Amino acid sequence: MTAIAEAAERFLSHSRIAVTGVSRNPAGHGSNSVFQRLGERGYDAVPINPNADEIGGVTAYPDLKSVPGVVEAVVIGTAPDRALATVKEAVELGIGEVWMHRAFDDGSVDDEAVAYGREHGVTVIDGGCPLMFGPTADGFHKLFMCPFLKMSGKVPREV
């Protein structure tokens, strides 16, 4: 097992990160916050939404396999029942890092998807948010959300 801080650092060391569940209507969508912050911090953030051609002026793709070039890591921000399909697609494409976003409820975490990814050599961070760690963090996420969600079990201590 790897400590969450180390896994987050490795995840955020990638430059091209796809984000699933990015909405055309960004209010209240965690995926949109992650997508936007990644872009602001210099990442090549790729929005995944089967119902949009572009989001925030960036070309959107219906799925991971439609993205030209290499995707190095994926943030899953969809409903948990879609996580397994995304993890299977990541495995098929050789993407070795997946982060399933979760805050107060189940978020995007699906136990079957977590197990499938790990069985196939993928590092799966099953909870929390990339905005709590490293170069994407802000004070609110890092100092309030992360400790609170760790105490509540929504951020794993190890992956």
- Report whether pLDDT(31) > 70: yes
Reduced to 3 states (helix: H, G, I; strand: E, B; else coil), residue 27 is coil
* Segment 96-122, tens digit of pLDDT: 999 999 877 778 999 999 999 999 999
Q: Which H helix or E strand runs over 29? A: none
pLDDT digits (tens, 9 = 90+) for 71-95: 999 999 999 999 999 999 999 999 9
Give alpha helix (H) positions in the chain.
4-11, 30-40, 83-93, 111-119, 139, 146-151
58 vs 153: which has the higher pLDDT: 58
> Which domains, from first to last, does the chain contain?
4-151 (3.40.50.720)
How far is 8 from 22, CA to CA, in rounded Å?
Answer: 20
Would you place residue 29 in the very low, low, confident or very high pLDDT band (cuts 50, 70, 90)? Answer: low
Whole-angstrom Cα distance, residue 108 to residue 28?
Answer: 15
**pLDDT of 93:** 98
Q: What is the pLDDT of residue 57?
A: 93
pLDDT value of residue 1: 81
Distance (Å, whole) CA 62 – CA 60 = 7
Distance of CA 73 to the CA centre of its chain: 8
What's residue 27's pLDDT? 66
Taking a C-beta distance cutoff of 8 angstroms, is the pair 23, 78 a contact?
no
